[in-house]
Every structure is written in C-alpha cells, then in structure tokens.
Structure 1
C-alpha cells in the first residue's frame, strides 16, 4: 500500500513561521543591544559619592546698590541623611505612593508602563507616566522633563544601569536627598525645615505623608500654597501605606494631617517685584548656568522702602498702585508692582497695560515742538471735529486764543486734537515708539488723549529721556554679575542714541514745569524744581503721575486690576501725592538742579480746567467723567451743557464773593510764590462755590477781565 503524502504547507503558515523567526531574531538582537547599552552606561556612571555631591541647581544671591543682600534664590539643601538615618515612615510613604514595586523591578516597571498605556488609551491623554523611583532620580540627575521618546529611552537605559551599579537602598537614599519638593527645597531635610521648621530626622507619619505627596506636583500640593490640597494628598499617601501593609488602619486613623503646624513663612518685601523683573534678564546677559552667582543690582533699599510706603499710604481703598523710579542713566532705584507682594506677585509696574490718559500728551507736544512749534505759539481753543470725533475740554468750555504752554498746563483736549491733526497721528505714534513705548499704539484721532494701552515702566522711561535732554534712557537693574569671585558681566550705559534735539527736550521740560507749578499736577510739588504730567482715564479707572527732579524720574499708576471706576481717583490727586511722598525723601540728599528753562506763567485770563481743582478726568471725559470716546476711539453722544449764568444777572446773594486783594496783587503773589524757592505758598484759585464732597462740581464762571487787569487764576 503506498504511503500517503503529507498535505502541502499553507503559504500563509510558511510566511508566518518566517516572520516569527525574524521577530525572535530581532528581539534577541535588541536584547543584546540593550544589554550592551546598559553595561556601557553602567561603566560610565559616576560613583555614589560623586552623585551625592553633584548640584541640582544654581544658587543666586541678589545685592542691592549698597551691597546688602536683597534675597537668595535657587535650590535649598538640608543635611544629607544616610539611608539608616531616614525615618522608616518617610521611606515607606515614598515607596507606597511613588513606586510600590520598587523592591522587585529592575529599574523599569513593565507593569506600570502597561497600566500607563492603558489609561492613555482609555482617557485619550497621558495621566500616569509609569516612572519608577529609579527613573525619577535618573531624570533628576542626568536628564530633563521633556516628553519625547528619545529622552524616555535614554531614561530606561540609565535606570537599568543604575540598578546594576547601586543597591536599592542607595538609590532610595539618593532619591530622598535630591528630589525636588517645591519652594526651592531639594531633599526631605530641606523640605521638612521649610514646611515644618525641623529636620527630617524627626518626621511624624502625617508630616512624612505630606512631604511624600509633594513629588507629584510640588506647586499644587504645597502646604504653604494650598493647605487643603496638601492635606488631601497626604490622606491618599496614608491610605496607600495601609494598602501596601506599611501601617495599620489604626495608625492611619491616628495620623492627623489637618492638625499639622506649619513653619511661619518669612516675610516678603516689595523688592521681589524688582528681582522678578531683573533676574530673568540673566538668560540673555550671561551663559553661566551652574556656578553660584552674585548679582549686583541698582535697587536702593531706602528708596524702595519710601516707594512702598508712598504707594500704601496714598492708593485708594480697593485700588492697586505701582511706582518706578529711574536714575538719570536708567538705573532702577525703586520698583513697586503692587500694595503687597505676598498676596499678589503680579507686577503692575512692568506687566500691566493700561490707558495713560493725558500723560500721553507728552508725545503729542513732543511731535508738535519737533515740527517747529514753540511754547509761546498761539492756537485757538475752539470746538473741533475730526473724522466724526468731537473732543471737549474738561471745563466744558473754550477760551479762544491760548498759548501751547497754557493748553498743556491745563490739559486742553481740543488743542491736543488740533495738534494731532496738524502733525499727523502716525507721527505721534512714531514718537511714542521712539521714546520706548513697546505696546501697540493706535492712530485714531482720539489717540492724542491716551486711548492706547501702555506700561508704567515704558512711560517712565519716556519722561526720563526728556529729562536727559532728548537722549534715550533704557531702564536696567543689573550692574554686574560675578561667579566664583570672577566678574562675568558688567553693564555699560549707552548714551549715544539721541531721540530729539536738546532744544525740543528743553521746551518740553518748560511745558512740564508749568503743569506742576500752576496746572493739573500741583500736588506733586516737593520744594524744588519738578516737571511732570498727570493722566486720568474716563470714569476714573486709572490715575497717573509722571515727572522728574534732580536727576530722578518717577512714574506712579493707580487703579483696580479689574478696571472698575474708583471714585475720586485722578492723576492730580492720589498719584501726584504718592509721587511727592516718594520724591521728597528720595531727592533730599541730592543737590537742587535748575532746568534749562525757567518757569513761565501761563495766560491767567484763562479759566483752568476742571481737574485743576476738582479732579475730573483729563482724557476727554465730559461732565461727571463720562467718556467722549469709547474704548475703540469712536465718539459718544454727550448732552449739551447748560449755558453758564452771567453773574451780573444773578441775585445778590448768589454771586461769588470777590477776593479782597486786587487782581494785580494776586498776580504778584503768584509770581513771587513760583519764582522764590524760599516761599512755596500756593496761588489762590479763582473764586468758585465749592460743591459738596460727593456731588458733581458746579462751576461758577469768573467775569472776563480787561487784558491788562487779569485775575491771578
């Protein structure tokens, strides 16, 4: 009987067999390559003692201008604890919550990786990374936190090599002494001292659970930042310890994370606003990223305290305040970004962008002066409409022919609009950018009244450049940097960039002097020559004062972070008072410096604008602060103002009381008070009937006098 021939093999089975053999061969080759890579990495790893001494980050000590230390930043290290000196509850809590199979896996946990992949598939995003304790310390010492496969593969190789070279106890010792626990604290001893005020050798179960829970998200679970989140996370750690058999349920119940007493937080001062602004600049100034740095800065501790006090004492309730003061070369001598750094680290001096109101007229008049105008030039103060926009003066009246000096002193909006139309709104925007405004500047006609958002530090820089006679001033905070006793950076002041001709800057200073001496900024007087400008936005949302004296330029802003109106806030009130409160002591030790141009009085037949006495907005608002343009610069219809009552037709009892001194005597008194530094008496305002404090002012007109017999104001 013939033998039955076997059935021929299916071609698919043959192909599958070949594929399987290839895969097995590739797997063996891959395992061989992995083994070679691991042992090569093992041979290149530093010794355990070398890993113990390697730094985790860069220490930075910041010095003030007098050499005192403002703050020390960077990693904080506690005492190195050997494995046996680390409390068992700390070791167990860490293993329970971070890597419960730590004692059994070879450095990489396949089960943890598989679980992470499954969760990623179910949730659609990475929730768990599956990293072991060995992988985490490997990443801390050798790698970074980039989520790329190449970095992850190197992490696996190094983790397997670490497990081949060091014992589990050594790896856990490295981990607990080097991992980051938040607040600048590296290692459990630094964390215990920061959060609980004692070393890690005395940690209780609850304290160990809080610290172990920080590794996952140090900023989210920090007990000083969010006590409830820290306690909740500690509860998760304790339950994991029960589940893994490290503690009993009774021990877990006895632990009381909520009853823990935290170490008091050291007070933070407002100089941190300055360091938060200055220190990031190191990335562009130097290349050193390892050696400890000594950073010498421009900040003056006495001026910083005075600035802090000036803002806190003068900012209205519910409002924030900011101040920047620059020396003549751009050195930042004081910077306050808010009332309290502890409650808000938002730096309103360098980060906030707000409308500047009439302080923006600096650029309008600079452009006009550069175009050939002079402070004595006459322009007609009259109703004006530009592309459908009709600004009004704050006094809601027009005064005919006035000089530019008078128009600037009393912040006449119609004149600013006419100048903007004449020189070009694009020219004004270019002038603002030339002087350092880094935010976008619109070219709507209403831009002349300060409708573009700006930063306080930029506006202060612009005024400082005028004070420097038209030479660009660039704010800086870092003078020099040393590393290991060697100077690696020194700041050099650049005085080569001329923004406007010196005579233009001198004429602008002339106008700014008048605004402080007789106009809207009179509360900024400090007993020595001052030049400056107020700014108030519609509905009193922002108040500004910027000015300079004796080589020091200071800008002040006040307002609410949510931009809600603040009753009574105007540039000529609280900001001007804060400016004076700061500048008086700040300039006390400096010699009095006269400006290139002497104070020249404006035309006193002109009725001053509302803000001179009552503080209404000076950016184009109508009665009661109602804006004449919306936030996009479009005109808003306003009610027609009632016609003023002629005093001659008033009943005798309703007429304003005339001053006892003659108009000429009043003018003589005013000139004497302005020009005589030993006599700082204020000029008397025109006769008005004062309104109640909480009601809109009612202005009583002053009869127009003959040209040779003008009232003092």
Structure 2
C-alpha cells in the first residue's frame, strides 16, 4: 500500500474540518510565498541577464559549436597512443583503456545504480540538465556563492572529457548545452558506460575497472556490494575518500550510498544489512596500471602532449599569483585538468611524433653516468644512487628539447628530474633575473655597482668580502650576490614589475607569491626551477629574447579522424627581453669562463670559442648547477641529492662543469664556430658594447640634466632679484643717525636680512655679501642694545640659521665635486687600461705580421 494511502487511513474523521481550515490558511500562505518567489525570480532574472546576458549568449554559442564535434571515439579509444622517434620509428604504445574498458552490458548493474542513487537520482527523467540543479546554480550566483550547483552525470561527463575545471557562469552554461546535445546523440546506458570508464579515481586510475584493480586487485564485477559503493564514493573527491589513506571517510560515504540505493529500490533490506556487516581492505596495486612510461624522453613527450592538449581545451595556465589562496586554487584546478588529459593520452587514440634521438640520449646518459660513477652510495629504500643528476639540452635553432636526462640511468631510476624536480638554482638564475632586466634599463657591461652590503638584509658574497665598485661584467664573472640582489631590487623599482616577471613570462612553473623578492636573484626561491626551465631561459637569450615553449614534440595526430591537431610550428614566441639586453647578457656570461676570477674559468670547450656560461651553488652547496649556451645548443646541468643535503662544492661543482663540457663537445662537433648574433641595436664604441637602451637612457639623462640646469639658472636669477630688493632696503636707512632707530625698525631690518637668498654653486658664492649686510645690521643693534636683548637674540637666530644653511649647501657641493673627481679618476684609469690593451694587441698584430711575412718569404724561396 502506498505511503500516502496509509497516512490518509490513519487520520480520524473529526480532524477533517480543522484540517480543512488549516489547509485553507496554509494555501493562502503558500500562494503568498509563491507570489513573492515569482516576483523575486523575475527581478532576479532581470538582474541576472543584465549582468551575465552577453556571457551566457557567448557560452551557448560555444557549447553548440563544441557539441558538433562530439563523437563516440572521444570516450572509447581502443587504438593505442603511439609515440614515434625522430626517424618515425615507434618507441612506445599506450593502451590502458583497451584492457580495462567495460561496456554497460558487461558491467554489474549495481555499479551504475550506485552511481545514479548518489549523484543523479533523476538521471532517467532529465535530458542532460536537471532543472532543480539549474535553479540551485542561479540561486548560488544571485547570493554570491559562486556558480556551483548539482550537476547531472551527463554534465559531469562533459566536464571530465571536454572542459577545464574553471568555475564560472559561461563554463556552466557551455557544459549544460553540451550535456543536452550528448543526450540526443547517445542513450542513457551509453552515457553511464562512458562516465564509468573515464572518471578519475586517484592513483592514476581512470575508469572504475582500472580503479578496482588498483585498490582491490580484481575486476569491478568481482567486488562486493560495499566495495562497489566505496569505489563510487571516490568519484566525489579522490583525495578525501581515498580508501587507502582515509578509510573512515570512504566507509561513511559508502554507507550513505547504500542507504540511498535501499531507499530508491535498487537493493533489498537483506542486501543492505549484509553490506553493512562487510569491511574493505584497500591497498595500492601499482602494477595494475599498464601506464609506466619508464623512459625519460617518452615521459617528457607525454607531459608535453598533455599540456598542449590542455591549451587546446582553453585551460588558462598561470605562473604568478596575487595571493596564496589563488595559488592553491589554481594548483588544484591545474592538477585536475592535467590528470584528465594525461589519462586520455594513455587511454589511446593519438600518434605523437617527436624529435627523440635515442642514440644521442644514450651517449649523453653515458656521460652523466660515467662522470658521477665515483658516488656509489644508494638509497636503501629505492635502491637507486643517493646523488643524482639531470641534464636538459635545447636546440637553439628550433627551441626544441633534444635530450632530457632525468637521472644516472641505473635500473629502476625512471623519475625524470629534468622536468619534474624543482631545485634551488643558486647563482645560475642571475642572468635571467638580475642582468638581462638591468640591460633593459639601459645599463652596460661597464656600468659599475658596489658589492658592499648596506645592511644584513643583503646576502653575503661567496668570496666573503667586498671588492668595491665593479663592472657588471666582473660582478657576474665572480658571481657577486650583493650586486645581483641590488640589480634585482632596482629592476623591480624602475621597471615597476615583480622581481620574477621575466621568469613568469618564460613559464617557470614553480613560482610562489613569496618569490616577488630580490633574494631570488641568488636562487632563494620557494620551490625552485627545473633544468628544463633553466635551459629554456638561457635559450631565450640566444633567441634574441624570444621565449619558445620547450618540448620534444613535432606534431600530434588524432587517429580516429586521421587529423593533425598540433605541429611545432603552432608554438607562439613571446618577447621577454629586448634584443640588446639578451645579447649583452650572453656577452657578460662569457666573462664567467674568460676572466681569471670567473667561476667557470676551468672549462675549455673543444669546438667553441664563442660561448656563454653561468654556474650556481646554493646554501651549503645542496644544489650545484652549470648552465650555458653556444650559438647552436643550450645545456643545463644539475647535481644533488633527491632529498637536499650539503655537498662537497669542489668535487660536485666540478662534476657539473665536466658534464657540461663533454655534452657541449659532443653536440657541437662538426658545427661551425660562430658567435652569437649581434642585433642592430648593439654597436661597439671605444672598445665597449653600446646598446640602444643605454643610448636612450643617456639622451634622457642629458635632457634631465639640461632641464635641471635651466631650472637652477632660473632659481639663481630669482634669488638675485630678491637680494637686490633686500640690499636696497638695507642700504637705505630711514634716518641718518643709528641711535634714533626704533626697535620696530631694527626688527624689520632683521626680518629683511632673513629674506636674503644664499647662492652656492661651483662658480658663485654670495656668503660674503650676506655677511657684510649682517655686520651692518648688528652694529646698529649694538647701539640700541649694548648689553644684548630681544633684538640681539632675534638677529642671532637669523644669522645662525643662514650659517647652517650655507654649510649644508657647501657640503652638498663638495660631495658632488668629490663624486665627479672620482668618476673622472675612474674613467682615466679605465682609459689607461684600455690603452695598455690596445698597445698589447698592436704588438701581437705586428708580431703576427712579421711572422707571416717571414713565412711567405720562406715559401717563395722553395722550389
């Protein structure tokens, strides 16, 4: 008997009149409430469409256009993803979905029933969008609670496959439009099948059958009712309802699902009671998923492909943040989107063409393994070497990654540290954060900055002291921390941008809100950088300041449509540094190996004379770096422990430089030894490189000086006119006899004296004139107040103030003169040094000419 009928039979007859009156009253109240709700809805609707009308219209159009592209192959990819090497030979096939995919008919009905009971009770009633859910979304938006609301299974499927995790009105509307289209193309059972085979369950498992193997080591059809409910519960939040780490939460949600299944008639009381008596024992069966990429180069290819497809789905990548909350929100959205696309690639359906050269990789891996073979200590848990290394090589002609060495190559060491491991870059970051932006501001390699620490906020120099004023070229050669810190701070102030602005533009993914600090100029980042990011940063300098996304992918083809969806020609370039700033930075980096005190002066490349380099060492030498470039290739090398530990700077640092040298020698063999391309905005004048930025700055400074001089002249002229009036008044006594001066007249004279304008320049000093007038006034005061008095005190105050003002002006002038003398002396010393170098070059040239003439004579004399 229906519950409604049972309730009516229990009501006594005597209760009906009262019930009728209550019903009338209730009806009136209900009508009133409904009326208010109606008018509120109308008003809310007007407000909503005034505010979001255009956004909604655009989202509808986007949803309809996107819906036209929906195909069954989007959810079922049985053709494996193939990764091809540089010679178009297959390296790897990825086909996880082919093994774990279950059709609706082959899956235990309890699985889909558990899903419907907790996620979408009206699944069989709606056409993709639940109107109650729509009202919830609208109400949340009007109340300022965001645009979250109940999504149908169909909407969730659309979001999982096609859309980014962005939470907005437009994205919600687009999702709804696509969901309705999906319901027109496929049956309800197909939608359930697609959802259950594509949703994420944590630990890399996509699809409920894969998840069942990961957590319980068996197919979903072989699990208990409680285990099925537990797996369905995970879809709500794989982290919160993780059955391995959060079993209590998992069971609580599983029991809620069982209760819903009972109330909705999917299971019996007996089934329910039995399931409540059961328990689950979950653990991660890591061998259940056949998606271990293993190879470093293949891992990079899949990572690159994932990010490329995320961009095509309009995921908004972000590299700098205004708050920690914004950063955390983005990181979660990024991880969700990344996991979704990553699994689609592993599931199959793509052909990824790469520039992977396995022979080159093996040669470079051999260099790393051999140079580091002296460190044999192993991690007892992982059975890999404790001390690890990473190398990234970028082809400067294309911007592509041609090699990604993620470790020492021992068996079981498959983690690619080259693009996955954030490490503190130390001084290796200085060219990107301090020097290139400084050259943007118009500084030159010969510009001087003191390496004295003004206070304890500044870092110490690695040479534990100060060398005084030094050129920027010398500062980078010896790796002055103080100079790098000062430059970063001044760059941010003058350019009015965050310290890490250039890194964000080059898509450094480890940036944190706290990194807007000049301390990152010496490598003090919150998380750090990868060798791939460091290499792409230096490669940006070689590419005239233009950043290109580092990837080893040439193209991607979608197999089901035989359609090329990406080619490396599609990668846009972004201007990060000006041409001249990039070139000057590279030229400055040459000093690191050319100068006697340079930190890499022990490196000599076999095939290159024109190359740039920078070393890096963090606190306690926990991370050691060597990064640099020839015109052909950029190489970044890192060595350290996976869990940062102090290193022997001498031996480990030397190893990074040795790996760098051998890698460069291998790569550049047979290449023409050319120099970096000098842009037209840079020229050589009087032995130094001059940039357009510096010339513009000099012109601006000259104009500023001219304006200052003109202003000063006008100021002096005004003072002189004022003093003429003062003199006229002081030289024209009201009465002839000083004795007849009244106190009032003398007070007026003192006041007039205070109005005298002092002029103190390198060509003019009118203190003596003022002092003469002052003596005339004081002599008059003495006739009236021989023993002193108020006039005397008033005069003394004026005179002392003027005297203090004069001394301050004089001191300021002397300081300017001393600074000018010092600048002249410095310029003279530089000129003498330059003359010596010119003389030495002339002697070498004369010697070379004489030797050449002698050799020519000898050759001529031979038969």
TM-score by length of 2: 0.45
Q: Once the two structures are superposed, what CA deviation does each residue of 1:234-283 show, in whole Å capped at 9, x if it has no partner? A: 56656766785261644654564448967534435455456435532345
Task: Choose from 243, 265, 281 the match for 2:308.
Answer: 281
Alignment of 1:201-600 (within 5 A): 201-205=221-225, 207-218=227-238, 220-221=240-241, 233-234=253-254, 237=257, 244-245=267-268, 247=271, 249-250=273-274, 253=277, 256-258=280-282, 263-265=287-289, 266-269=291-294, 270-271=296-297, 272=299, 275-277=302-304, 279-282=306-309, 284=311, 293-301=350-358, 310=368, 323-329=391-397, 330-335=399-404, 349=419, 354=424, 356-357=426-427, 360=430, 364=435, 384=452, 394-396=462-464, 409-411=477-479, 455-456=529-530, 457=532, 459-464=534-539, 472=546, 474-477=548-551, 478-483=553-558, 484-492=561-569, 499-500=579-580, 507-508=587-588, 510-514=590-594, 519-521=598-600, 529=608, 531-540=612-621, 542-548=623-629, 551-557=632-638, 566-568=645-647, 570=649, 574=652, 577-578=655-656, 580-581=658-659, 584=662, 588=666, 591=669, 593=671, 595=673
Cα deviation for residue 331 of structure 1 reads: 0.9
Query: SS of the residue aligned with 1:247?
Result: helix
Cα deviation for residue 360 of structure 1 reads: 1.3
Q: Distance in 2 between matches of 1:96 and 1:416?
A: 61
- Higher RCO, 1 or 2 (CA under 8 Å, sep at least 6)? 1
Contact 1:177 1:186 in 2 (8 A): no
Q: Distance in 2 between matches of 1:203 and 1:443?
A: 52
Contact 2:591 2:598 in 1 (8 A): no
Contact 1:381 1:398 in 2 (8 A): no
Distance 1:467 1:322, change over 3 A: same
Contact 1:367 1:431 in 2 (8 A): no
- How many equivalent pairs are there? 542
Contact 1:326 1:334 in 2 (8 A): yes
Q: Once the two structures are superposed, what CA deviation does each residue of 1:23-58 show, in whole Å capped at 9, x if it has no partner? A: 8xx9xxxxxxxxxxxxxxxxxxxxxxx999463388
Distance 1:218 1:112, change over 3 A: farther
Distance 1:136 1:185, change over 3 A: same
Alignment of 1:632-643 (within 5 A): none
Q: Once the two structures are superposed, what CA deviation does each residue of 1:374-406 show, in whole Å capped at 9, x if it has no partner? A: 8xx8x9999746699988754446789999987
Q: Distance in 2 between matches of 1:506 and 1:134?
A: 55
Cα deviation for residue 534 of structure 1 reads: 1.1
Query: SS of the residue aligned with 1:178?
Result: helix
Q: Once the two structures are superposed, what CA deviation does each residue of 1:614-638 show, in whole Å capped at 9, x if it has no partner? A: xxxxxxxxxxxxxxxxxxxxxxxxx
Contact 2:424 2:618 in 1 (8 A): no
Query: SS of the residue aligned with 1:81?
Result: coil
Match of 1:178 in 2: 195
Give structure 2 stretches of 5+ with no counterpart: 1-23, 39-68, 316-340, 380-385, 677-863
Contact 1:273 1:336 in 2 (8 A): no
Distance 1:573 1:465, change over 3 A: farther
Cα deviation for residue 182 of structure 1 reads: 1.4
Q: Distance in 1 between matches of 2:276 and 2:469?
A: 85
Contact 2:593 2:602 in 1 (8 A): no
Query: SS of the residue aligned with 2:228?
Result: helix
Q: Distance in 1 between matches of 2:439 and 2:164?
A: 56
Distance 1:576 1:208, change over 3 A: farther
Distance 1:521 1:224, change over 3 A: farther
- Bigger Rg, structure 1 or 2: 2
Contact 1:524 1:576 in 2 (8 A): no
Out of 52-61 and 483-492, give the one that drifted further. 52-61
Cα deviation for residue 499 of structure 1 reads: 1.9
Distance 1:555 1:242, change over 3 A: same
Distance 1:51 1:331, change over 3 A: closer
Q: Distance in 2 between matches of 1:201 and 1:231?
A: 19
Q: Once the two structures are superposed, what CA deviation does each residue of 1:87-142 show, in whole Å capped at 9, x if it has no partner? A: 35545544665567989x7889999989x99xx9xxx9899977776887798899
TM-score by length of 1: 0.52
Alignment of 1:142-221 (within 5 A): 171-172=188-189, 174-179=191-196, 180-182=198-200, 188-189=208-209, 191-192=211-212, 200-205=220-225, 207-218=227-238, 220-221=240-241
Q: Distance in 1 between matches of 2:472 and 2:170?
A: 68
Q: Once the two structures are superposed, what CA deviation does each residue of 1:564-618 show, in whole Å capped at 9, x if it has no partner? A: 8x42365x653652464476368636515575589xxxxxxxxxxxxxxxxxxxx
Distance 1:502 1:585, change over 3 A: closer
Distance 1:89 1:252, change over 3 A: farther
Task: Choose from 46, 50, 74 the match for 1:55.
Answer: 74
Match of 1:653 in 2: none
Contact 2:241 2:247 in 1 (8 A): yes
Q: Distance in 2 between matches of 1:144 and 1:201?
A: 31
Cα deviation for residue 327 of structure 1 reads: 1.4
Q: Distance in 1 between matches of 2:246 and 2:287?
A: 14
Q: Distance in 2 between matches of 1:126 and 1:381?
A: 51
Q: Distance in 2 between matches of 1:260 and 1:448?
A: 42
Contact 2:500 2:515 in 1 (8 A): no
Q: Distance in 1 between matches of 2:499 and 2:145?
A: 50
Distance 1:154 1:546, change over 3 A: closer
Alignment of 1:20-169 (within 5 A): 53=72, 55-56=74-75, 63-67=84-88, 68-69=90-91, 72=94, 78-83=100-105, 85-87=106-108, 89-90=110-111, 93-94=114-115, 97-98=118-119
More helix by share: 2
Match of 1:625 in 2: none
Distance 1:125 1:251, change over 3 A: same
Match of 2:749 in 1: none
Give structure 1 stretches of 5+ with no counterpart: 1-11, 27-49, 599-713
Query: SS of the residue aligned with 2:539?
Result: helix
Contact 1:437 1:459 in 2 (8 A): no
Distance 1:261 1:505, change over 3 A: closer
Match of 1:674 in 2: none
Q: Once the two structures are superposed, what CA deviation does each residue of 1:656-713 show, in whole Å capped at 9, x if it has no partner? A: xxxxxxxxxxxxxxxxxxxxxxxxxxxxxxxxxxxxxxxxxxxxxxxxxxxxxxxxxx
